[in-house]
Amino acid sequence: MQKKLFLTTVICVMCLHIGAQTLARDYKGSSNGNPISPCVFCADPTAMECDGRLYVYGTNDHQQYLVNGKTGSNDYGSIKSLVVFSTDDMVNWTFHGTIDVGKLCASWGWRFAASWAPSVTSRVTRHGQREFFLYFANSGGSIGVLKASSPIGPWRSPLEKPMIDSSTPGVAPCSWIFDPGVVVDADGKGWLAFGGGDPQPTGSNLWPGNSRIAKLKLTMTELDGSAVNLPAPYLFEASELNIMDGRFVYTYNTSWSERSEWNSFAGRGNNPSPSSCSMCYMVTDTPLDPDSWEYRGEYVPNEGNFGMGWGNNHTHLQKFEDNYYLFYHSVLLEQSMNTGASGFRSIGVDKATVNESTQTINKMTLTKTGVSPIRSMNPYVKQQAETMATSGGVNYEDFTNISNVPNINTLGNDASENMQVKMRPGSWTMVRSVDFGTNGAGKLSLSAKGTGRIEIRLGRNNSASSAVVDLSASSMTETTVDVDPSVFKGVKNVYFVCTSGDDVKFDAWQFTESDPDVIRPLSVSETATQQEFFGPDGRLLPAQPANGLVIEKITDAQGTKQVRKRFVHNSGK
């Protein structure tokens, strides 16, 4: 009976073909790494490594997109939350949902306006505990701070008001008090840069006078002394800080202003004037000494930003596993969707070439292709459905705990392991570079609820199904099916395609590795071209025995050699 059931499953799996339903469009492109999310508008990235994962935070442009009814222009005024993603391979990104900053800062009253452009860091206290701090632009008039004990929260506001505003010593005059960039040095001391906007009345295009840097107290929620001017030529916004080989590296976005004053800048060196809205950087040993900063030029020229025109950008330079990566935003996803909306940005990442000893950032070009995976995904541990490289027909509001009513956020202020992805006929998700190993996978367990069908396809979303999971459960249920190890073997791109059901909530998946020594019948995909038979004691047999346990060495039609055990009954059938 078990043998018949197994054969029926395999035959059905191998004979299923593409359904008649239309598959949802892939706006990102399955071979592209950028943007990191195929369905969430987000911008102004920052990043932080924790326990082998890279966490990326950004402005929640998607909240404004929903307020606008998925049309019109982004004016940022309704953005009161931040998004969180993480990865360990740089191509498959887990969406952790949103941080409801408006709810966290409700005690501020009228002082809270919006949440943009986060910057995040952590430090270890003298008691050995790791604390996480997230700074954000409260619109353009002040800077707030959140605190947590993990990179995904729960977050809280340690203050009853903004941390920095125009009354903070050393800040005024500053056109825009926003775009914080934080770093912690080797001594555990925190530093924060911020500021931007049009030039001060006493300033000029070359020296707008709006950039500030300050040292933080050990609490990380208060300045240790006054902020000081950071003389950044043609500064407009997007301050960020790094430390390389003990030196401070400040990055920023330049303005649209004309560059006629460039030759009057004695510190320009051999650098040409930066292009409009390019990313530039400066270096120093003593950040509170304005005269110590050395201008190094631009590292991302403005090349149209994927058709964004002469738009500004916001970058974050992040080291992860001995390589540097540049995070930024573009309108790639918006342009591909072509809904008529404008100004809704998406976070991208490309590999950067950095010399830490000389604090040199090589000039780079932003790409759609993005980065290659730094490791393969392990299918034999539980993976969340909200982890994906790309998808089709999955929307931001289709993640449970994310409401399509923009002023309602049911997620809370920490990431949820109970997030699920809503699937409907034709919708799908994909994970890249999944390594099933040489033994292959023998089973798939998929956690979901609802009534419908999810097909697993390899290589392309319109490939023939390699496995099928039929669902019929009113609560979250784990369904396990047999899969063919000869198919689920090696490194694959894996698609989860919903072919029926409008109420399917997909939560998680996990494969079980096949044991080549397990006793199982010969599957239809493993027809042997060469065979040798051995007894249980390892002795070579002259022919296949009529009955009993046999160890069989085979070479299949593809030339793959395998060893397995199986029972032979009567004629071996």
Q: Is 289 a catalytic residue?
A: no
Alpha carbon 279 to its chain's center: 22
Q: Please, which residues have CB within 8 angstroms of residue 33's CB and are 6 or more apart in sequence?
A: 90, 91, 348, 349, 368, 369, 370, 371, 372, 389
CA distances from 99 to 399, 416, 537 (A): 14, 11, 62
Cβ atoms 409, 399 nearer than 8 A: no
Residue with tokens 């080549």: 516
Here the tokens at position 541 are: 């047999």
Residues in a beta bridge with 497: 428, 455
Q: Please, is 475 exposed, middle or buried when counting C-beta atoms within 10 Å of its C-beta (0-12, 13-18, 19+)? A: exposed
Q: Please, which residues have CB within 8 angstroms of residue 338's CB and are 6 or more apart in sequence?
A: none
Region of 162 (left: φ > 0; alpha: ψ -120 to 50; beta: rest) is: beta
**Which DSSP state fits 198?**
S
d(CA 8, CA 498): 22
Which of 26, 61, 89, 237 is flagged as catalytic?
237
Here the tokens at position 19 are: 């359904």
**Which DSSP state fits 110?**
G
Instruction: Count how many residues are written for the chain.
Output: 573
Which of 44, 179, 386, 398 is flagged as catalytic?
44
Here the tokens at position 219 are: 């609490």
Cβ atoms 41, 312 nearer than 8 A: no
Helices (H) and strands (E) in the chain, counts: 4, 33
65: three-class secondary structure by DSSP: helix
Helices in 204-316 by DSSP H: which ranges?
A: none
Q: Is 44 a catalytic residue?
A: yes
User: How big is the CA angle at 287 (ends 281 and 293), to the nearest 5 degrees?
Assistant: 45
Cβ atoms 247, 284 nearer than 8 A: yes
CA distances from 101 to 57, 76, 239, 399, 411 (A): 13, 14, 21, 19, 12
Cβ atoms 30, 390 nearer than 8 A: yes
How many C-beta atoms lie closer than 10 Å to residue 24's C-beta? 19
Handedness of CA 517, 521, 523, 526 (dihedral sign): positive
d(CA 522, CA 506): 32
Here the tokens at position 268 are: 């320009």
Active site residues: 44, 237
